[in-house]
Amino acid sequence: MTKKFYITTPIYYPSDKLHIGHAYSTVAADTLARYKRLQGYDTFFLTGTDEHGQKIEQKAAEAGKDPKKFTDNLVVWIKDLWDKLDISYDEFIRTTDIQHKEAVQTIFTKLLENDDIYLSKYEGLYCTPCETFLTEFQTKDGTCPDCERELEKVEEESYFLRISKYENQLKEFYEKNPTWLEPSSRKNELVENFLNKGLEDLSISRTTFSWGIPVPNDPKHVVYVWIDALANYWSAIGYGSDDPKKQEQFQRYFPADVHLIGKEIVRFHGIYLPVLHIALGLPLPGKLFAHGWLLLQGGKMSKSKGNIVDPKVLIEQYGSDTLRYFLLREIPFGKDGTYSQERFEERINGDLVNAFSNLIHRSLTMIQKSFDFIVPSSKEPTILEENLIEFSSKTIQRIENSLDEFQFSVALTHLWELIAYTNKYIDDTQAWSLAKRDSEYAQTVFYHLAETLRVIAVLLQPFLPKSSQQVFHLLTIQDETLKTWESAKNFGSLPIGTKVLPSTPIFKRLV
């Protein structure tokens, strides 16, 4: 049976247009999904939007629209962004979907029947922009630690989830699974700041606004965002559905192999999500990875602060693969990174133009001039070719190791090392004049060069889908078996006599 791989992004809050920090999460998840598909996994990639809550209700009122129409417009914008970024999701879940509403109410009812939910009163601090309840020790001089806005004091009737009931089980889980939440610094912070200080029961309903999923049999309450939002990982693949196909889908993919999130929501996913799994007797996800923030030089990007970089503007100016490359290469995944236009342009000119695009263009131009666009047959290889093949093989293993550890920047560093090594191979063989000096060895060199371009294109697919397909097009490769991950390990698969196309640079230098 084919192995499965189920990966999710956080679902994004459509109170406004998204910024490149949101694109960062989604591009990373898309890269992993593409990588697993290339390896032959039955892959399911989920993303979507978290559309309920007081902030959406207020924003919609300000715009003179009902909340659903307000979010409809933003969802169209978000889906268009993912299309422009070549995000290959299998399902886009909206928390306003009927299937999601039914799943949330099913979950709520089961928890209530199990005595994991009780009715009481909530008194405390609340941040509306972040949709977050906070205790005194979590605040920053009376303001929200994330958006730095003033907090409201709220008092209302609320249903509570018995988080405290599962504190010991959760501690035991983390002790037995020390690498479940990564990076390790994130897990250490969670355990120290929350688990070791004792867990408080969680308010999971609100009565002061109506834009949400009604609590079953008590419609004056709506289900609070974090139960509503977290349930998307289940509802999207069929939890609680009566449809046999959806039931089969749920059995096939659940639980997720990887939940990919930003570090600001690690508490909700590192505590509340596993508690929901444990309380309902469901197997826990395979991995939770909480990456860092993409910062501007002035600090964290935030829709509520208004200091954002619009990814659509960058895509329109520079292309989708350029943005994907910068996000994946510039920032060590798991740590905070900084966006600047200067670094963005340096990556384009240095890596994409000087190294990658130049290698493709000069290689195909030389095959055109030396062998009239035809990839020749290889004769007896020398130590240079043997070293090239060995370096290619080692690169594949290094990239696999890096991607399996969510180290996208390291994986791309290894791929660009292969690109640099291939450029050096051209210099070492003086390929540009080789056909005139040694036509037989020239055949060997240009076959190995063309085949290395194929291998590079295969390895590039998870990261830069458009550019990799451009290379396949220039090599006139239509056979899909020559594009699989496994095919990159079989050096020498490119058919002799392949006709290459005239090359124009894939990326152009920014002046």
Element (H, E) at 196: none
Tally of CA atoms within 13 A in the half-sphere of 155 that contains its CB: 0
Across the chain, what does the average pLDDT equal? 93
Q: How far is residue 278's CA from residue 163's CA, in Å, rounded to a whole number?
A: 11
Q: Is the pLDDT of residue 2 over 90?
A: no
For 470, the token pair is 């451009």
Per-residue exposure over 358-386, b if at least 16 CB sit within 10 Å of its own CB, e if not: bbbbbbbebbeebbeebbbebbebeebbe
Helix, coil or strand: residue 117 = strand
In the prediction, which pLDDT does 154 show?
A: 80
Mean pLDDT score, 326-347? 92
In this prediction, residue 201 has a pLDDT band, given cuts at 50, 70 and 90, of very high
The residue ranges of every structural domain in the chain are: 341-488
In this prediction, residue 302 has a pLDDT band, given cuts at 50, 70 and 90, of low
Q: How far is residue 458's CA from residue 501's CA, in Å, rounded to a whole number?
A: 18
Tally of CA atoms within 13 A in the half-sphere of 149 that contains its CB: 14
What is the percentage of the chain residues whose pLDDT exceeds 70? Answer: 96
What's the CATH fold of domain 341-488? Isoleucyl-tRNA Synthetase; Domain 1 (1.10.730)
pLDDT tens, residue by residue, 14-39: 999 999 999 999 999 999 999 999 99
In this prediction, residue 139 has a pLDDT band, given cuts at 50, 70 and 90, of confident
How many other C-beta atoms can be found within 10 angstroms of the C-beta atom of residue 511? 5
The position carrying tokens 């309903």 is: 205
Report angle CA 67, 72, 78 to the nearest 5 degrees. 125
In the prediction, which pLDDT does 147 show?
A: 73
Strands 288-291 and 181-182: parallel
pLDDT tens, residue by residue, 41-66: 999 999 999 999 999 999 999 999 99
Mean pLDDT score, 490-510? 95
Closest CA to 421 of 505, 494, 326, 355: 355
Determine if the pTM surpasses 0.85.
yes
Q: Is the pLDDT of residue 141 over 80?
A: no
Tell me which of 120-124, 270-274, 355-359 is least confident.
Answer: 120-124
